[in-house]
Structure 1
Amino acid sequence: MKRKHVITSESNVYTLGTIGAHRVVTTKLPSVGRTREAMTAAGNTTTRLLGIFQKVEYVFLVGVGGGVPHYTDYSRHVRLGDVVVSTPAPDLNDKYVYIFCEKAERNEKGGWDYEVKPYKPTNFLLQDIALRLTNTHAPWNMYVNEGLQRLRGVPGRWEAPEDATDRLSVDVGDGVFIEVSHPAPQGGQRRGRVHCAPVAGGRAVAGAGEARAAFAAHARVRAYDCELDAVLDSVVGNRKDCFVSIRGISDYRDGSRGKEWQAHAALAAAAVMKTIIVAMDPPTD
């Protein structure tokens, strides 16, 4: 992003600039956590930004998340350093892009009952662009390299860690994990891929365990984040019709554990965001 200037309003800092042909404004959400107070603060930050910058048309929620691995099929396997863009599941009638699970309980039949809040934009422009780009040689890797150059000297390890640090484990219950091999790639498949699928949140399902895997299969989820429902409530409440969540995968749980891949995963997510914005038609005003 070509930065123009920074605006400080109360406790929030807004950076204004351009990406491609589009004017953008960014802010950092308060530290998201497992308390509703933290999420209320994040929702209030979003409401304040959208109130100050009322001409915002497209909303990008960009950060890290926990990936949902697949243990046998590499085409459905999400690895550390990959990026998940929130898009509807093609085989489900309800075209949500983000789903928040408030409650997950076992039922009498041995399955699960869920209490959820689904979110879907009125306009799927950003999702359509992402789907189109995943079928092309999109330049997000170029933007990752560009970011690495700009981040020289900035604290943090922005380069991708060694492959050996990407360890995959199976939860066998009672807090016991067994390390297994990643499924083998086929043909030209490689690391650093972009997946288009729903993203989910909610402490009832985001942690490790059977509920997490069951809900991911139920909702076709490929990434979990740290509960952004309050943020999306603000986005929808402010009548922003076009929004997307972009999650760089930093771990295989809920996005809050494991620091080694976080910096690179955040950079990868930002690179995919830039790719989508650059691919958008120029504004007409």
Structure 2
Amino acid sequence: MSFTKQMSSPPPLEQFQIGWICALHIEAIAAAKMLDITYGPLQFQDKSDSNSYLLGKIGHHCIAIASPRAGSIGNTPATAIAVNLLRTFHDIRVGFMVGIAGGIPSQKHDVRLGDVAVSFPGDNCGGVRQHDFGKSLEGGKFHRTGFLNRPPNSILSAVSLFRLQIDLERTRFPRSVRDALEKDSVLKNKCSAPDPKTDRLFKANQPHPPETTCAQHPVEWDVARAQLASDAPNVHYGTVVSGNSVVKSAAVRDSLLQDIPDAVCVEMEASGLMNDFPCIVVRGICDYCDSHKNDQWQGYAALAAATYAKELLEFLPAQEVAEEILALKLYRK
């Protein structure tokens, strides 16, 4: 993890072809710390563009990190961030949606707090599914409809190559997450990993009682899980489930898994982006979408996701990015 260097002013806006979207303040902090070079303030911004920007460079890529000036969640704000981004940066071709999400543990994906989830196409799915869009049927059943676009081919190729190198232990990830914490005082203060003992997956029939803390819950409430050889984050590739509402129910979470067997996490922004903004979704797991949900792991999860995204960019050739269609053209269709 290299330290950033400050420059007086950014290069011409046409050199920025990658947009990195953050919906929360802690996500923007983690993203900013990933930049190899940090540029000074943006000198021009479209008067209709209400985003805040952090500009810099990762490897050969000029990156525009966009976040809302007033923090909010949901897929409409994420869409607004992307629309505003393209008002100022007309040459954006690919996007990264990087941040935190609630995990969906399963037999296929042994998701733990601090792990990373990456949207990746599977059977009849482009990598993101909207869980609250569809038709209500007789008997109280809900049929999800619609299809969201896949990430750009250049990013999918980079993900496949990066995934192989991680499996072969030929990359810095996930060791680089620990290295970032050791070298940067801001990240150490805001994004350090909580005690691993706080990573507890509770049985679905054991909701969080009022006026208690999770530390007070008996061990009998825990789902039995294998002990991991390392506390370092693992990466899960599958379907990111997205919608307009916060999922804070183990029963709802498990019902989503029944309908979407390859689900890895639930979040609230991606479904508003995928059909108009060519991007990949990278999420750090900060809770399990149940009544025990809290913000204890948010900082570390944001850092894990940002670190993965930074190193993924190393496997993304600048020439392949330049050959992707302009994102602005997708919005004008």
TM-score range, shorter chain: 0.7 to 0.9
Structure number with greater Rg is: 2
> 1:16 and 2:48 equivalent?
no
Match of 1:208? 249
How far apart are the structure 2 equivalents of 1:133 and 1:225?
A: 27
Determine if contact 1:205/1:215 at 8 Å carries over to the other structure: no
Match of 1:125? 157
Q: Aligned AA for 1:136? A: L
How far apart are the structure 2 equivalents of 1:66 and 1:244?
A: 17
Does the residue aligned with 2:132 lie in a helix, a strand or coil?
A: strand
Identical columns (%): 24
Match of 1:31? 71
Count of matched residue pairs? 268
Q: How is 1:56-205 mapped onto 2 (pairs within 5 angstroms)?
A: 56-70=92-106, 73=107, 76-89=109-122, 92=123, 94-103=124-133, 112-123=142-153, 124-137=156-169, 138-149=171-182, 151-153=184-186, 156-172=189-205, 179-185=221-227, 191-203=232-244
Which moved further from structure 2: 41-50 or 122-131?
122-131
Residue segments in structure 2 that go unaligned for 5+ positions in a row:
1-34, 210-216, 323-333
How far apart are the structure 2 equivalents of 1:256 and 1:116?
A: 31
Aligned-residue RMSD, C-alpha: 3.3
Instruction: Specify which structure has the higher proportion of strand.
Output: 1
Match of 1:248? 284
Change (3 A) 1:253 1:212: same
- TM-score under structure 1 length normalisation: 0.79
Deviation of the 1:116 alpha carbon: 4.9
Which moved further from structure 2: 21-30 or 163-172?
21-30
Deviation of the 1:143 alpha carbon: 2.8
Q: In the TM superposition, what whole-angstrom CA distance separates every residue of 1:64-98 from its partner, at most 9, and x where no partner exists? A: 0001113xx4x621000100011123xx2x13111
- TM-score under structure 2 length normalisation: 0.69
Q: Aligned AA for 2:185? A: R
Query: Could you say which structure has the greater relative contact order, defined with CA pairs below 8 angstroms and 6 or more residues apart?
Result: 1
1:260 to 281, 296, 311: 296
Match of 1:231? 273
